[in-house]
Structure formats: C-alpha cells, structure tokens
Structure 1
Amino acid sequence: MSDIQLPEDDEEQQLYERETENTPETPLIRRSQSHESIISTLSAPPAYELYPPATTWSGRLLNFFRRIPTRFTQSSIALPTLSDDRADERSISSRFRIPQLELHPRIARWRYPIVGLCVLCITIFSFLLFCSIFFSPASLPSPSVPDKIANDTAKFLTLNIFMRPPGVKNNWSDYKDDRTDFIIRHVLPNYDVVSFQESFGFGSRRKDHLIRAAREMGYNHHVESGRKYPWQIAVDGGLLVLSRFPIKDSRLIEYPRGRHSDWMARKGAIYAQIECKPNSLVHLYTTHAQASYQQITSLWDDDVRTRMNQFSWLHSLIAETSGKDGSAVVLNGDLNVDAAVHKEKSSPTEPSEESSEEYEFMKAVLSGEGKKINGKVEYEDSWKIDLKDAVYESYGFHPVTFGDVKVDEYGMVVPAETVLTDADELMAVQSIDHVLWSPRQSNMNIEGVRVEKFMVADTHLDNDEDEEKGYTQVSDHYGISYVLRL
C-alpha cells in the first residue's frame, strides 16, 4: 500500500487536514466550494459581450440595444469576499441578490420602438434648438444715439451687398465675413438711410451682426424681410432698410415664388415711411426682382413675365401705402431689368443713351399705365403715378451697375471685377440697379446721384485693417447714392 501514490490533489487535501485538525475554528472548505469558484461562476460576462466587438457605428448602436434587456433582467451580482466565520452559512449568490425586474411581455415587445421614439424626439428637439439660434432674429440692444433730425438734406444709398446664405458662392470664396466688416467700417458711417438687397439671414448671423453694428451708429430703426426656417423650404428675401430717422410705418410683401434658383428665395418688397424731420415724410420702397438666367430674346420670356408680375404687386403696394397723401415716393433696389441697349458693333465701354424695351415695360407697369400687347393693355391700374429715373436724369445715359469692364495697361478691355462675379456674367455691362421717384405734391428733390463702386483700393483703411484683401470691391454690384433735398 505504501507504494501506491495518491493523486496530487488528494495528497494536498490530506496534508491540509493534518495541519488543521487541531484548529476547529477553521472551517473545512474543499476546493469545489472555494470562494474563487463561486465568484468566477457568478461573475461571468453578460450575454451581449459574447458578440464580436463592434468596429462600425451601426455595430455599436446594435450592441447598445442588446444591453437593454440584460440590464433589466440581470438578477444577481457577485461580491468578492465574506467574513471567514460565516463562509459556511450561505453562498454569495443567495445572500446578496437584487430583486429581479422583469418587463411585462407587452412592454418588452415594444421596448425597441420606445427607445427609437425617444431618440427621434431628442433629435427633433436638438434640430429646433439649432433653428432657434441660427434662423430666428437676434435680440437687439436699446438705441444709444438719439434719432436724427434732418436739416435740409438726407443721404440715401441702395446696394446689393451679395451676402447669400452659407455655402452659396460663385468662386472659391465670397469673403462674406470680411465684406460685412468692410461695410460696417466704410459704408454705413456715410449715409442716413440704406437699402440693402441680398442681405440674407438664413442660417447665418451676419445680418444680425450688421443690424447690431448699425444700431450702435445711430441706425435705430430697420425693416427686413421675414425670416424663414428649413421646414418652409425657402430662404428669406434678403431685403433690409436701415434708417437714422424714425420709421413711422412699414410693410413687407412676398411675391409668388420665382423661377430657377429664385424659387428658393421668397423675394418681395419692403415699404418704410420715413420721417426725415417733423411733418416731412417720404415713402421709401426697395425690392429685388426675379433674375435672368439666360439671354432675354423677347418680352414673352418667362423671366420677363415673372418680373412684370412682381412689379404689378409692387405697384399695388405703392398705391395702398402712399395713395392717400402727397408725400414723395422713392423706389430703389436691384430690379434686374437691364435698361441699357447693347448693340452688336458697340464697345463694352460705350454708355447706352437708349433705353431697352423691357425697361420701358417695367416703368409702364410700376406707374400703372400698363402696356398694350397684341391689342390688349396689360397691367393697367386705375391709380397711377409718374415715376422718374433719377440716375438717367443725372448721367444722361444708363450707367453700368453690374459686370463692369475696364481698360488695362495694355489697352485691352478686361473685367473690372473677377472675385465675386460669376464667370458667365463677366463683362455683362448691365444697368440693373435703379432709383425711380416722384415728388408728387412735396417740395422734395433728388440731387447728387452717384454710382458708388466701393473699390477697396480707393478706401482709406484703418490702422488695424490689412491692406491686402482677397476682394477688390465690396460687392459684385455697384451701389447708387443720392441726396434727398427736403
């Protein structure tokens, strides 16, 4: 018997029993009942960890949902140790047990749709919060400068500032932020009333920044196009009127949706009744009409007909807001009607003294006279107004306001601006920005009309501004300034 060798485990057990037979306070625990075996059994990883580790976002999302039922149904946990004198009473799993939480079968069936609904609600809330920050008008500070009262004159400006929504650009950059600061520094300080077109507030705070800065300069009053939100599938009209004088009344209208990319912009018109001084009012209107996306061949082109329909809406607005008094009426803005006549043999630098047929059509619609087409007078209205072209009367021709040209040092005719202007519109030499007005029964008069190019090279920059800028002029359009003598 002595030659029989016990298994190694039995020898260790007998040795342990001999060593502890005289110490009754030490309980006999076999290897099968050791703490190590209990803990390792109960601390097995949950079922969802048996799946391969996720390496994609979809896999991680799937594993997240797999953990949900496990967290609700897991019934016990294992703790590492018990006191030695109570190790023989109970197993760890039976002594430390969490009450089991079981979902009702009907609820368990819908747990995934419920989680998905919660995720959807959180997403919608986050989207609405984002829209409230970047699409709604910002709060404005209280005026810090008293309203201005004119003596004998007031200086006006109309300018398409080419501030389109984020991501919309002609070339690699439109320098929107830099040009906004340029306008604040070098344009706003020189005028009393400013009419801006293409000052879009959709998805950007540039427009709010411009209004805030203008208010600090004394432009205490403004009227703007209505803001739009993404679910409306439209952007605002981009119109903005800033005034140092009080605005006694205002209104804005939206035209029916335009054509091509203009379908997205809810273009319209703005009316502001401005009190330059006590008992001296002027009815100011600004608009941005349908643009042409192809060469105009006749008055029956769709773009032309869309513009004329918009001008009929504008005429109705003028009649409703200024038809009851005799104050002066001023209409300025980007009307997108080229008043110049382009002859085949004429030079791009030669000014146009003749007026285009569409320009005459536009004036007829805006005045309420209408135009006779195929034996029928269209766009005629019972209320009429005689509108004069302040720019043409001042220059004697229709000056270029978009797509201008210049002669370089070699005597070649080249585009005057290439950074902001689209390549297809270079050297278009169009006269599409206008100032139309009527003194009516007032003693007012317009003088000092000037096409403002706002060239960076001609501007005296501040000390903290870089002389080297990526753009040569503040916009692809020229502005028109004029003095209203009261």
Structure 2
Amino acid sequence: MPNGHHLFIFTSHTQASYEHFPDITSESVRVRLSQFTEMRKFITKMTENAKSSDIILLCGDLNVNGRLNKDEGKIHSEEYKAVYSILKGNLSVVKDEKNNGFTDETSETAEYEVEDLFYNKFNEHLVTSCDLFPDDYYKDGKGKKSRKCLDYFFKFTKLNYKDNQDDQNIEENDNNSSSTLSIEDLTLNTFDVTDKKFVHLSDHYGLSLNIVDNK
C-alpha cells in the first residue's frame, strides 16, 4: 500500500441456517455467533500492530441475514445487531464445551468502530441471495426467492491503537497522507447468465469495491 500503509483482508464462510428466518436462539445462529467471536479475536491478534491509517476489512458469505424480513431491508434483524455488537467487541458468544451450550459475555468498552460499507452506502441491506434457475425449473413453478442479505464488507477501525504506540509516531503516521486512501465503487454484481439452464453463476450475488489512492 502507498506510504507504508497496510491492507488487512479477512474472509470467512460461517455456519449456515437451513430455515429461512431462524430465531436468534436457534442452534445454527448460536454456533454462528460463536464463530464471529472467534473471528474478532483472530482479527485483533493479526492486527495488533496496525496503524490507525491501515485498512482492515472483513468480507464474505457470512450467512447472517441482515434484513428484518423478505420485504424490509432498512431495519436490522436481531441476529445482525448481535453480530455487530460482537464485531465491535461489546459481546462475545463463547461455546461451553463442558455443558454443550453457549455463554454470552458483555463488555461496555468496544474494541472497534465497525462500518457495514454496503449498508452505509445504500441505506439498506441489499438482497445478495438468488435462485440459480428460472421459476419453471422448480416443481412448484417458483424458486425460493428468500430475499436475504448474507454477504458483507465490514471495515474495522481500532479504537485503542494509541495504547500500543508512541503518540508522536502516531501523529507522523497519520499525517503521512492517510486521508488519500478511499473506498469507492461499491457494486452488487448479479452475474446474469443467458442461454443456459441456470440464470446466475451462483446462488449469491457478488459484492465488489475499489481501494483508491487519491494522491
């Protein structure tokens, strides 16, 4: 990256749920929340020496439906709100191997400021799931059309980076054109296919963005 900046990209594919809108107490959701806790801990470990100007991204098919229901994408689902708290560091869901359950741990102090880049851009959880085949392929004449938002780009900003660095070095680093890097061109790609039995390349739409040096 320009001027000594670093780009940290983390990607994952968490536990899926096989019901359309699972309750937040369901087994699959609890497993998924514990995976997000492990994910945040890993990100914290790997970015221990990151500067405030470094870019930290988490992206992928995270299997968390951010939409409240099929038709409402502006309001966050309960699971999404829990995941957001976990990524910030205010909540941890830890698997209790001894009792075969999960324990919730809370913290009043967050580790990160977390931005959902696509939600912030479009003011909505975009639909990222789709049917691979046209309606007439399915027995009932229609596909699932579940209209879920399962794919994300989260940007992390460390809130306590000053604790581990000299203040003078931080100021020098921050003045080192940190503001010249921007995230642009956030795009949802449907990857439509013609003249085939299937109508999309995947049952998920793609998300893409560009990191631009404006210097």
Q: Normalising TM by the smaller chain, what interval?
A: 0.7 to 0.9
From 416, 423, 433, give the equivalent of 2:151.
Answer: 433
Residue identity matched to 1:315: R
Counterparts of 1:302 and 1:292 in 2: how far apart (Å)?
A: 9
Instruction: Describe the superposition over 1:205-243 as per-residue Cα deviations: whole angstroms up to 9, x where unpaired.
Output: xxxxxxxxxxxxxxxxxxxxxxxxxxxxxxxxxxxxxxx
Residue identity matched to 2:45: E
Counterparts of 2:91 and 2:136 in 1: how far apart (Å)?
A: 40
From 18, 28, 39, give the equivalent of 1:293.
Answer: 18
Consecutive unaligned residues in structure 1, runs of 5 or more: 1-275, 343-347, 405-414, 458-467
Counterparts of 1:387 and 1:335 in 2: how far apart (Å)?
A: 15
Shift of 1:357: 0.7
Q: 1:318 corresponds to which residue? A: 43
Alignment of 1:362 with 2:67, yes or no, is: no
Q: 2:182 corresponds to which residue? A: 445
Q: 1:257 corresponds to which residue? A: none
Instruction: Describe the superposition over 1:50-108 as per-residue Cα deviations: whole angstroms up to 9, x where unpaired.
Output: xxxxxxxxxxxxxxxxxxxxxxxxxxxxxxxxxxxxxxxxxxxxxxxxxxxxxxxxxxx
Counterparts of 2:120 and 2:196 in 1: how far apart (Å)?
A: 35
Against the structure 1 CA distance between its residues 316 and 385, is the aligned structure 2 distance closer, same or farther, given a 3 Å change threshold?
A: same
Structure number with bigger Rg: 1
Show structure 1 runs of 4+ deviating over 6 A. Answer: none
Instruction: Describe the superposition over 1:2-59 as per-residue Cα deviations: whole angstroms up to 9, x where unpaired.
Output: xxxxxxxxxxxxxxxxxxxxxxxxxxxxxxxxxxxxxxxxxxxxxxxxxxxxxxxxxx
- For the 8 Å contact 2:34–2:92, the answer to whether it is kept is no
Against the structure 1 CA distance between its residues 419 and 323, is the aligned structure 2 distance closer, same or farther, given a 3 Å change threshold?
A: farther
Shift of 1:439: 5.0
Shift of 1:297: 4.5
Q: 2:63 corresponds to which residue? A: 336
Counterparts of 1:328 and 1:419 in 2: how far apart (Å)?
A: 45
- For the 8 Å contact 1:388–1:437, the answer to whether it is kept is yes
Consecutive unaligned residues in structure 2, runs of 5 or more: 94-102, 159-173
Q: 1:477 corresponds to which residue? A: 204
Counterparts of 1:336 and 1:394 in 2: how far apart (Å)?
A: 20
The structure whose residues are more often strand, as a share, is 2
- For the 8 Å contact 2:133–2:198, the answer to whether it is kept is no
Alignment of 1:384 with 2:102, yes or no, is: no
Counterparts of 1:379 and 1:418 in 2: how far apart (Å)?
A: 45
From 18, 34, 51, give the equivalent of 1:309.
Answer: 34
Counterparts of 2:13 and 2:185 in 1: how far apart (Å)?
A: 24
- For the 8 Å contact 1:351–1:399, the answer to whether it is kept is no
Instruction: Describe the superposition over 1:440-469 as per-residue Cα deviations: whole angstroms up to 9, x where unpaired.
Output: 564333222111101124xxxxxxxxxx33
The structure whose residues are more often helix, as a share, is 1
Q: 1:456 corresponds to which residue? A: 193
Q: Percent identity?
A: 24
- For the 8 Å contact 2:128–2:205, the answer to whether it is kept is yes
Shift of 1:473: 1.5
Please, what TM-score do these two structures have when normalized by structure 1? Answer: 0.34
The SS at the match of 2:6 is strand
Counterparts of 2:39 and 2:210 in 1: how far apart (Å)?
A: 24
Please, what TM-score do these two structures have when normalized by structure 2? Answer: 0.73
Counterparts of 1:314 and 1:381 in 2: how far apart (Å)?
A: 20
Against the structure 1 CA distance between its residues 445 and 403, is the aligned structure 2 distance closer, same or farther, given a 3 Å change threshold?
A: same
1:185-200 to structure 2, matched below 5 A, reads: none
1:188-267 to structure 2, matched below 5 A, reads: none
